[in-house]
Every structure is written in structure tokens, then in C-alpha cells.
Chain A
Amino acid sequence: MSDQTIPVSGSLQAAYPERGTLLEWLHGWIVTVDHKKLGILYITYALFFLLVGGVEAMLIRIQLMVPHNHVISPEMYDELFTMHGTTMVFLVGMPILFGFANYLVPIMIGARDMAFPRLNAFSFWLTAFGGLLLYYSFLGGFGLYGMGNAPDVGWFAYAPLTGKSFSPGHNMDYWALALIVSGFGTVGTAINIIATTVSLRCKGMTFFRMPLFVWLLLVVSALTLVTITPLTAAQVMLLLDRYLGAHFFDAQAGGSPMLWIHFFWIFGHPEVYVLVLPAFAIANEVIPVFSRKAIFGYPAMVAASVGIGFTSLAVWAHHMFTVGMSSAGNSFFVISTMVVGIFTGIKVFNWLATMWGGSITFSTPMLFCTGFLFQFLIAGLTGIMLAVAPWDWQLHNSYFLIAHFHYVLVGAIIMCIFAGFYYWFPKATGRMMSETLGKWHFWVFIIGFHMSFDTMHFVGLLGMPRSIYTYEPNRGWDTLNLIITIGAFVQAVGVLIFVWNLVHAYFRGKLAGPDPWDAWTLEWATPSPPPAYNFAVEPEVRSRRPLWDIKHPNDPDWKYEQ
């Protein structure tokens, strides 16, 4: 089955493009408007910054390895954790997921490209430029009094620390401008994805036949429209404060730092769901294929995703239980936050039900997705603990919080991204990644992960706050921190195995053929890598799993789906 394309009308025989000179090749990548190439650009870019952000994390951990450590200056430390957070969220999480979206959404809905290919290229280059601008800050001017160059006030950048009087240098300007620029790129891509899914679906691809991956990206893109923009607006206000002497967040003139806190989390909270939903999207594709079953409760999955999207707009102040809201206000945000747990629960249970009664093979993508399920369960439950407002008065800004969100960001999102890599790498390159190395990668990384992030919960419960460059030795935090640091090194080994696997597979991997996983969605109906226009003729579908219908002509899906 794996050496021939599936006879969906419109699939092509492999037509590998000719390789020209290096210059032509480079030029081809730079001027490209092809969604697949742009997708790969996004992903490569994000992968590069994952390593950068990871190195920053390593430096953080080296400094915190023992109490009163002097490896890194306090100034440098503040830059490191700010840049680590900002990089991971804006230069890794968003682009990598948009990379997957770019690559997959058009193919999955049987389209030839995105709705606006040139806007797509423009958005990518804006994002790329934003990242460069952010990192240029290392050269571009000092920050807080006595501090270094890069942004150094945390990724949440609470006012008034960001005002001219406390951050006289240019680092906050780099921070704000870089994120505004990449924010425009993000909004552009989101608009593009929405227009693509709504207007370019191939014949027969009704909304309720779209793969869940596409559904989730539709929700994410819609969410992005109202998520990134508040940050842009708040950053414009910040720049007005800094350059034109406005007083939005200027406490001296009666302005309120509270406004920034609200605005940031109105962005910041939905943002974390913008990051996690595409990860869910990956799991939605991988879990059914490796369980050999259709996704359980497709309509419920869609409804839950939309529900998460909407509720996530009304929970932002759970990041603000300690700022002194009224007790009624606090209570409202407790309940709204917990409601997200109900919707998310529906998804978790549906994944379990998909696996139930299946015939599960633990290939690397599935391994990572299983790890994701386990870790996301814990992460969600620690989220519920944080949502218990009085307890959050203890846990807020402690390492328990750091543990919670790394459990989601690393344990769920990065894990799903790894799964996505192993799953679609053959599609994008035509070559398989090594299963052996994949398993090594999985086990090494997951061991390091648990060493680091499980331990963080405890050190947080023992009262260790975040954002500190050093700590006192007599507080019971020493050994725990050492373990966290060792765990980070183990993770780094895992990541290196992964990178090696990528590089090796790209040149030496065994040929994949169009459909190595015996999967069901349209992208597996074209050759690997797909030709420039994906499909010679627009395909037609009759169910959620067009390839299943073809492979099982006697028992096609469209007989059963509601």
C-alpha cells in the first residue's frame, strides 16, 4: 500500500523538482509563495529558536543549580528568563504551529494553496523579521537601571517597570516592536487560514467532514484574531507612554498598572489556548490512525473546541487572583476557569474512547501522543488547583506555577509537536525518521522532563518564587533545584537525538512512499513530498476519512457518519 498513491481523483505521480544551483535554490525559498515551502520555513525557523530558547533555559538552570551561584549576573539572568519565555511563546510555539497549519490545512481540505499565497509569504517574513528584531536587542541598548540589553522584565512585562523611568534604555522598545511586527504576521496568517478553510474546501468537504486538525486550526485562527490584537493594542499604548509621554500605565500621573495587567492577560490567557489547540489538532490526527479507529465523538470534539475557544476569553483574571480583586470577581474567574476543564475533559475522554477497542501500535508519533495525554492530564489538574483562588494565593508566581505551565507547554505542546514531526516528516520530505532514534528520543526526553518539572512542583510548594536569580541555601530548595537542572540536561540530550534524527533522516532516511502510516486524510493521497499544486485535479470527498472509503469500499465511512 505504501509504494503507490491512493487513487483519489487528482493525485499525481511523484514529480521531484530539479535541483538548480545553490543560489537558485536559496532564491526559490526566499521568493516562494507555496504554502508547503512556507510551512517548512516556519517550522525550521521555530526549530532554530527552540534550540535558542532551550539554551537560555539551560543557562537559567545552570545558574539555579546551587544556591548563591555566580555563573550568571543578575542582569543577565533577568534577560535570560524574559527572552526564554518570549522566545518559546512567540518564536517557537506560534510559528511552529502555524507552520504545521500552513503545510497541512490546504492539503487536508483538498486545496491547491492557501487563499492568499502572497499574504502568506508576507506574514512569514514579518514573523521572521520580528524574531530578528527581538534578538537584535542584545546589541541595541541598555534596559533597567544597571541592566543589560535584551528585554528583562518577564514575558508579562508588568507596568510600570516597563516605563521610561524604570527601563530607560531601548530594550522594551525592541520587545514591543518585535512583537507588534510578528503579531501582524500572525494575524495575517490567521486570516489566511480562516479564508482557506471557509472558501477553498474541495468538493464534498462540508464543515462536518473536515479533519479535526482543520477544525481546530479554524478555531485557533478565530481565537488569534481577538487574542493577538489586544497585545498589539497594549503595546502601542506602551510605546505611546514611552515616546510621547502618554500616561496609560504611568502611576505617577494617575494611570493604572492594573490596566496593563488586565490587557496583558486578556491576551495572555487565550494565547495559551492558541498554543495548545494546534497541539490537540496533532493528537486528533495521530491517535485515531495509530489506534486504527475513527475519532470517537467527532461532533463533541468540535463542540468542545469551540467551547474552549469561547470560554477562554472569559478567564483571564485567573492570572490575577493576587492583585486584589473583589471576592465576587475572584469567584467568577474561579468558575469560568473550571468550566474550561469540563470542555477539555470531553476531549481527553474522547481520545481515550478512540483508543478503547482499537488496535494500538506505539510507533514514535503515538508514543509522544500517549505521553502527551498523560502529562496533559496532570497539567490540567494542576491548572485546576491554581484555579482554586485561595490556594493560588500560595501557588501564584511560585515554581508550582512554573511547573504547571511547563507541563502544558513542554509536556503537552512540545510532545505533540514531536509527534507531528515524526508523523508528517515522511510526507514533507519523502523519507522516514528512524524509529529507533525516535524511541530513544522519547524515553530520554520524557525522563528528563519528569525529573525537571515534577520536582518544580515540590520546590514551589516549599515557597520558592519564580524570577529569582539566586536563593538562600537554608530553605530546603537546594537538592530539588539540582535535580531540576540535571533533568534539563537530560532533556537537552533528548533534543539533540531528535535533531540528529531529523538531519540523518533528511539525507539517509528510508523512502516513505505516499502513505507510510496507512492513514485516512487527503494529504496521504498525494506523493511525498507533494508536488507544487498538491492535486492535479480537485479531489472529491464523501466522508471524514476519504482514504478509508477507498481502502474499504465495502464498508465506507459515509454509511455511518451522522
Chain B
Amino acid sequence: MCGALHAQKCSTAIVNMQHSPSPSRIRSGLSLALCLCAPALRAFAEGPDSIPNTFAPASTPTHEIYNLSLFALTVTGAIFVSVAALLTYVCIRYHSRRSNPANEPPQVYGSLQVELAWTVIPILIVVVLFLTTARIIFAIQDQPEPANALNVTVIGHQFWWEFRYPSYGVVTANELHIPVSTHQQPEPTFLRLISADVDHSFWVPQLAGKTDLIPNHPNESWMDPHEPGLYLGQCAQFCGVQHAKMLIRVYADTPSDFAAWLKNQQQSAVNDPSVAAGRHIFESQACMVCHTIKGTRALGTVGPDLTHLMSRATLAAGAALNTPTNLRAWVQNPANFKPGCLMPAMHLSNEQVDQLVAYLTSLR
């Protein structure tokens, strides 16, 4: 429901992205005003949102982080207010009105008591802050994995995401589908994060803090979205030319939606005889070297799995909306959307591209 609506809204935004839409301008203006205090920022966005607001948590770990951040903000805020007030006071009160420059103020060289006071008080503050922080570190990081958790392996590639569901034999890219996890029916998702090439970082601010994907160093993270919908994020560790266009979409699906989605993803690719020409091109060109389409000869793993390409809303990790026009432009020359990405332009004739796109669009 609400999730679908949101997906809709975001898609329109992407369509309009060349001429920046006015609603988003107004929104960001608003957000500036609201940013000034954290709780207000939060009130601004409950549930999934097109703004990946770290102050609009939508899962257990982010809620805990959010509460911790409010605490830290209060402590540091209090320190700021008192010290800044002191500074202002000193500047105003002791601003020189000396008539006689030779008349120096009394010289004070120090005081052990005062010195002790402003050492001990910060120590106490630090102890409190540290203990609170450590508690949350352990709570989030060492959360045991429940038996019913969904396992997903996230593989970072230059510049796209691969998602594998080992227990379901599903492989997809760039758009992660996970079940919502409600109080009545908790079903968190545990991610195993690995990298195929260089460092990346998986960050969906509303669902979980970021965790890096480092070659030879598998990491873990977990999330349990409380409300269905689309959550946005992106790669947060510089990984090369198109690091900026390594976006993430996480769909938190209702249990039934999720089951339906899984079921579809488990199927082999649609085999539609009317687009056999396109399929032939795909299998005779280099495409199959890099891409997998289940049920065909194409078994490449360099690029995203295209078996259910049309079930995704965007192309190439959010570089463009997944429409036939964009798909065509993409296949003709990926640099149209993502200059520097690792898929080469294949130099196909217009007719070939048409057939290829017809084939690709059949891959529901």
C-alpha cells in the first residue's frame, strides 16, 4: 500500500531528474528548517521516505542508534551551550575599555583546584558517554541471529550490488527485497557482506548503519524494517569512477508480497519465442560472457543477473529508470548513464539493439 505509493513517487522523481522537480526543492527547503533540531527532523518522516534521513529510523538497529544519538546530542549540546556561553561572557565582559595601556590587568598564573575541576568533570562525562555507547555497540553488533532470519549475501562490485539468497537459490542485483519484520511476526534479515573487487560500503540510513565490504574480510550486518516500502541508500566508500551511481534500493515487502516475489525470482527466465531473435543476439554476442540469464546459455558473473531484469525499477544500480527507452540507450552505450562503468558499448546495429531490447523486456 503505502510502500507501493512511495515507490511510485520515487520513480516519478527519477523520470523528472533532468529538470529538477519543484516539489523536491520545497521539500529540501523545508528539511533545512527542520534540520535544526533532531526530533523535528524525525517527525518530518515516519516510515520509508525518499530522503535517506538518518534521523528517521525504521528498524531496530537504527532506532537504537537514533536514541543513542539523541543522548549524545544532548550531552554534547549541553557542553556546547555552557562553554559557548562562557566564551561569549568572557568576550563581552572583559572586552578592553582600558584608558591607560600601561595599566595591565592582574596577572593570574593558574590554579590547581580549578584545573582539577575541569579535568574531573569531563572525565565523568566521558565515562557516562562511553558506557552508554558500549552498551549499544554490543546490543547491535552482537545481536544473535534468530533461527527464522533471512540470510542474504551482498556482493559489492564496481559499481553495482549483487544479492544472493542462498537458501532460496535466488540471485538478483541492485534492488534488495526483504520481508518486513513486525512485533507480531519478527523476521530480521541478516546480511553477509563481501566484495568482488575493491572496498564498498552498504548504507541504507533508515534501516542500518553502514558496513564496509572489504575483499578477504567478510562482514555482517542486519536490519528489520518495521514498515513496508522502499528505502533508499547508496555505496558509502569510494570505489572508483562511478561510486556516485552505486545506489541501493531496499524493498521491505509484506510477507505475502515477499513470498510472491521470491517465487517469481526462483523461476528460470521466460522463454518467449516471439523474441528469439533478441535472445540469439544475446547468446552470440559477448553479453553472455558477463551476464547470467537462468535457463539459457548465458552464465557470466561479471555483470548483474538479468533473469528477471524487468522486475527491477531501475537500471545499473539506479543510474536510470528501467524503461525500454533507457534500456535501449543503455545497451547502445552504457556511458550514456554511467561513464566509466565496466560494461562496454557493444557496437550493435539499430536493428540488433531493437531485437535485444525486445528480448530483455520480456524478462519479467
Residues of A at under 8 Å CB distance from B? 66-68, 73-75, 78, 144-147, 153-154, 158, 160-161, 166, 251, 254-258, 261, 291-294, 296-300, 322-324, 327, 330-331, 334-335, 338-339, 341-342, 345-346, 348-350, 352-353, 355-362, 370, 373-374, 377-378, 381-382, 384-385, 387-398, 455, 458, 461-463, 465-480, 483, 518, 552, 555, 557, 560-562
CB distance from B38 to the nearest CB of A (A): 8
CB distance from A301 to the nearest CB of B (A): 9
Contact of A461 among B35, B64, B87, B108 (CB under 8 A): B35
Asked, given contacts A146-B339, A357-B94, A461-B53, whether A397 binds B237 with beta carbons under 8 Å apart, the answer is yes
Contact of B105 among A256, A292, A334, A385 (CB under 8 A): A292
The answer to whether the Cβ of B41 comes within 8 Å of any Cβ in the partner chain is yes
Restricting to B106-163, which residues have a CB under 8 Å from any CB of A?
Answer: 106-111, 114-115, 118-119, 122-123, 126, 129-130, 133-134, 136-138, 140-142
Question: 6 closest A-B pairs (Cβ-Cβ)?
Answer: A393-B209, A463-B52, A474-B13, A251-B215, A468-B244, A324-B219
Q: How many A-B residue pairs have CB under 8 A?
A: 327
The answer to whether the Cβ of B79 comes within 8 Å of any Cβ in the partner chain is yes
In the assembled complex, the Cα of A160 lies from the Cα of B214 at a distance in Å of 9
Query: When the two chains form their complex, are residues A397 and B210 in contact, meaning their CB atoms are under 8 A apart?
Result: yes
Query: When the two chains form their complex, are residues A294 and B108 in contact, meaning their CB atoms are under 8 A apart?
Result: yes
- Who on chain B is nearest to A370 by CB? B91
- Who on chain A is nearest to B54 by CB? A394
Total contacting residues, chain B, CB less than 8 A: 108
In the assembled complex, the Cα of A562 lies from the Cα of B109 at a distance in Å of 9
User: Which residues of the other chain, A, contact B109 by a CB distance below 8 angstroms?
Assistant: 294, 296-298, 560-562
CB distance from A174 to the nearest CB of B (A): 18
In the assembled complex, the Cα of A396 lies from the Cα of B65 at a distance in Å of 13
Asked, given contacts A254-B216, A397-B237, A458-B32, whether A349 binds B17 with beta carbons under 8 Å apart, the answer is no
New A-B contacts (4) at CB < 8 Å, excluding given A147-B340, A359-B98, A463-B232: A357-B108, A384-B72, A389-B133, A476-B51
The answer to whether the Cβ of B20 comes within 8 Å of any Cβ in the partner chain is yes
User: Which residues of the other chain, B, contact A477 by a CB distance below 8 angstroms?
Assistant: 28
CB distance from A61 to the nearest CB of B (A): 15
Query: When the two chains form their complex, are residues B27 and A476 in contact, meaning their CB atoms are under 8 A apart?
Result: yes
- Who on chain A is nearest to B20 by CB? A473
The answer to whether the Cβ of B55 comes within 8 Å of any Cβ in the partner chain is yes
CB distance from A517 to the nearest CB of B (A): 11
- Who on chain A is nearest to B140 by CB? A390
The answer to whether the Cβ of B236 comes within 8 Å of any Cβ in the partner chain is yes
User: Which residues of the other chain, A, contact B219 by a CB distance below 8 angstroms?
Assistant: 323-324
Query: When the two chains form their complex, are residues B91 and A355 in contact, meaning their CB atoms are under 8 A apart?
Result: yes
The answer to whether the Cβ of B24 comes within 8 Å of any Cβ in the partner chain is yes
Query: When the two chains form their complex, are residues A291 and B94 in contact, meaning their CB atoms are under 8 A apart?
Result: yes
In the assembled complex, the Cα of A508 lies from the Cα of B107 at a distance in Å of 37
Asked, given contacts A388-B68, A476-B31, whether A357 binds B212 with beta carbons under 8 Å apart, the answer is no
Query: When the two chains form their complex, are residues A257 and B217 in contact, meaning their CB atoms are under 8 A apart?
Result: yes
Asked, given contacts A160-B197, A251-B215, whether A154 binds B90 with beta carbons under 8 Å apart, the answer is no
Query: When the two chains form their complex, are residues A394 and B69 in contact, meaning their CB atoms are under 8 A apart?
Result: yes
In the assembled complex, the Cα of A319 lies from the Cα of B326 at a distance in Å of 39
In the assembled complex, the Cα of A381 lies from the Cα of B122 at a distance in Å of 12
Contact of A473 among B21, B118, B134 (CB under 8 A): B21
Query: When the two chains form their complex, are residues B35 and A462 in contact, meaning their CB atoms are under 8 A apart?
Result: yes
CB distance from B62 to the nearest CB of A (A): 8
User: Which residues of the other chain, B, contact A352 by a CB distance below 8 angstroms?
Assistant: 83, 86-87, 90
The answer to whether the Cβ of B168 comes within 8 Å of any Cβ in the partner chain is no
User: Which residues of the other chain, A, contact B236 by a CB distance below 8 angstroms?
Assistant: 322, 396-398, 465
User: Which residues of the other chain, B, contact A322 by a CB distance below 8 angstroms?
Assistant: 201, 209-212, 236
The answer to whether the Cβ of B228 comes within 8 Å of any Cβ in the partner chain is no
- Who on chain B is nearest to A383 by CB? B76
The answer to whether the Cβ of B84 comes within 8 Å of any Cβ in the partner chain is yes
- Who on chain A is nearest to B103 by CB? A359
Restricting to B39-65, which residues have a CB under 8 Å from any CB of A?
Answer: 41, 50-55, 61-62, 64-65
CB distance from A366 to the nearest CB of B (A): 10
The answer to whether the Cβ of B265 comes within 8 Å of any Cβ in the partner chain is no
In the assembled complex, the Cα of A144 lies from the Cα of B242 at a distance in Å of 11
CB distance from A359 to the nearest CB of B (A): 4
Interface string of B76-104 (1 = CB under 8 A from A): 10011001101100110011111001001
CB distance from B288 to the nearest CB of A (A): 22
Contact of B84 among A324, A377, A382, A518 (CB under 8 A): A377
In the assembled complex, the Cα of A144 lies from the Cα of B198 at a distance in Å of 12
CB distance from B151 to the nearest CB of A (A): 17
Asked, given contacts A258-B214, A359-B104, A461-B35, whether A385 binds B72 with beta carbons under 8 Å apart, the answer is yes
In the assembled complex, the Cα of A334 lies from the Cα of B134 at a distance in Å of 8
Asked, given contacts A257-B217, A393-B210, A462-B51, whether A346 binds B118 with beta carbons under 8 Å apart, the answer is yes
- Who on chain B is nearest to A481 by CB? B28
CB distance from A442 to the nearest CB of B (A): 14
Asked, given contacts A324-B219, A355-B94, A462-B31, whether A478 binds B203 with beta carbons under 8 Å apart, the answer is no
Query: When the two chains form their complex, are residues A473 and B105 in contact, meaning their CB atoms are under 8 A apart?
Result: no
With most chain B CB atoms within 10 A of its CB, the pick from A331, A360, A474 is: A474
Query: When the two chains form their complex, are residues A478 and B20 in contact, meaning their CB atoms are under 8 A apart?
Result: yes
The answer to whether the Cβ of B278 comes within 8 Å of any Cβ in the partner chain is no
The answer to whether the Cβ of B350 comes within 8 Å of any Cβ in the partner chain is no
In the assembled complex, the Cα of A334 lies from the Cα of B95 at a distance in Å of 39
Asked, given contacts A389-B133, A458-B35, A476-B24, whether A297 binds B234 with beta carbons under 8 Å apart, the answer is no
User: Which residues of the other chain, A, contact B340 by a CB distance below 8 angstroms?
Assistant: 74-75, 145-147
User: Which residues of the other chain, B, contact A377 by a CB distance below 8 angstroms?
Assistant: 80, 83-84, 87
Contact of B94 among A356, A390, A465, A561 (CB under 8 A): A356
User: Which residues of the other chain, A, contact B216 by a CB distance below 8 angstroms?
Assistant: 251, 254-258
The answer to whether the Cβ of B175 comes within 8 Å of any Cβ in the partner chain is no
In the assembled complex, the Cα of A374 lies from the Cα of B239 at a distance in Å of 36
Query: When the two chains form their complex, are residues A384 and B119 in contact, meaning their CB atoms are under 8 A apart?
Result: no
In the assembled complex, the Cα of A61 lies from the Cα of B219 at a distance in Å of 34
In the assembled complex, the Cα of A355 lies from the Cα of B212 at a distance in Å of 46
- Who on chain A is nearest to B31 by CB? A476
Interface string of B1-27 (1 = CB under 8 A from A): 000000000100110111011001101
